[in-house]
Structure 1
């Protein structure tokens, strides 16, 4: 994961992420900014959440799980390694930890907890707050190499193995079956399957995705090759690029519109500027 700024300044959905009926699933880590609402369960490698994050479903972490103070999880929290639970966290189901448990004061676990390792009751440091304040400080003073090493340790990169980009949900976001609402840019990787309307500053959707909802942004919207958007695509002040063989099953409203070869728009096009259409190799011949 390359670090050039605050990692929580953008919604990042890595390749292959799926929003299923009850859970948001990814192969890598999950980082959630403070005061966000996740209307799914979450399944990933390591799961880290800032203060006052709400989860409407179950958390399953193959590695570590860190929940800062005042988080609320509606169902179980299942952890494959160690867990760090801040003070005044509420868990509506069970907490099961395969490793060590570091737990704060006034934690409410409705169905009890189990830990196979050490159990320490204290007030753990709010790790998300500390981590990103420290990262921001390193970037401000130009220590990009140090910041990169820190984030590499966080996501457990190993020499010679490809990096798995984490799923990053910025502060004050709402993510659910109805809508993904953020006030930051949004980047969605390749081969993703998401349910819900996406609302962001700008939106970049990768190749071969299925988004069952509309896209709305203030700025530019890019849709990758072979992607299907099952809804309208609207930008207030930006341009739209629709990749080769992509399909928009709704209306498009924008400034300039660029359509790749084989791209289809099923609804009405409203473009204040230019509309350009790419040609296939056969058409050029």
Structure 2
């Protein structure tokens, strides 16, 4: 995971992420910025959430789970290694931790908890707050290599190959109806998501299925073989639809470029130019 800027300045959906009926599933870590709402449960390797994050379902973390103060989880929290639970967190089900549990004051766990390791009750500086404060200072000082080592140790300390984390920025809303962020959004390949995506800019990689519309202020790119089951609208930007991609709705933009095999099933409204481009594959 690169840290040349604030890690929570972009919605990042890694390759292979699936939005299933009750949970977001990804093979890597899950990072959620403060004051966000995730209407699903989440399943990943390590799960880290800033303060005042609401989860609408169960959290399953194969590794560690860190929930800062005032988080609310509607169902169970199941942790394969260690857990940090900040003060005034509410868990609507049970908390099960295979390793150590570090827990703050006034935590409400409706169905009780179980930890196989040490249990420590204290109120240190929330881990995710410390992490991002420290990272910002390192980046301001130009210590990018040190910052990179810090995040690598956090998310890759089990020796597994690097996997890009699922990153939900601050003040975001993610649900079956819509994914709303005020930052850029990058969606990896082979993803299957439900909900309308609202972001500053949007980039969707190859072979995805997005069951909803895309709306951005700036540029929008739709990768090869991807299907957008809805309209595509940008206020001020251009749209690139790569080869064999398909938009099953209307497209509204400034300039539109359609690569070979790209399709738009609805009405095209372009204030600028509409061009039929050539893919890199055709130039070889």
| TM-score after normalising by structure 1 | 0.97
Offset, 1:280: 7.6
Contact 1:102 1:124 in 2 (8 A): no
Secondary structure at the aligned position of 2:114 is classed as strand
The residue aligned with 2:215 is 216
**Cα distance in structure 1, aligned partners of 2:277 and 2:3:** 35
The residue aligned with 2:112 is 112
**Cα distance in structure 2, aligned partners of 1:142 and 1:278:** 40
Q: Does 1:186 align with 2:185?
A: yes
**Cα distance in structure 1, aligned partners of 2:96 and 2:75:** 12
> Could you give the per-residue CA deviations for residues 133-186 of structure 1, whole angstroms, max 9, x where no partner exists?
111111111000000000100111577x64100000000000000000000000
The residue aligned with 1:199 is 198
Q: Does 1:94 align with 2:94?
A: yes
Flag structure 2 segments of 5+ consecutive residues without an equivalent. Answer: none
The residue aligned with 2:57 is 57
Offset, 1:278: 2.7
> Could you give the per-residue CA deviations for residues 183-216 of structure 1, whole angstroms, max 9, x where no partner exists?
0000000000000000000000000000000000
The residue aligned with 1:132 is 132
The residue aligned with 2:275 is 276
**Cα distance in structure 1, aligned partners of 2:55 and 2:32:** 10
Secondary structure at the aligned position of 2:210 is classed as strand
Flag structure 1 segments of 5+ consecutive residues without an equivalent. Answer: none
**Cα distance in structure 1, aligned partners of 2:31 and 2:205:** 20
**Cα distance in structure 2, aligned partners of 1:166 and 1:116:** 27
Q: How many residues align?
A: 283
The residue aligned with 1:10 is 10
**Cα distance in structure 1, aligned partners of 2:15 and 2:278:** 28
Matches within 5 A, 1:229-240: 229-240=228-239
| TM-score after normalising by structure 2 | 0.97
> Could you give the per-residue CA deviations for residues 72-128 of structure 1, whole angstroms, max 9, x where no partner exists?
000000000000000000000000000000000000000000000001111132111
Contact 1:262 1:280 in 2 (8 A): no
**Runs of at least 4 residues of structure 1 off by over 4 A?**
none
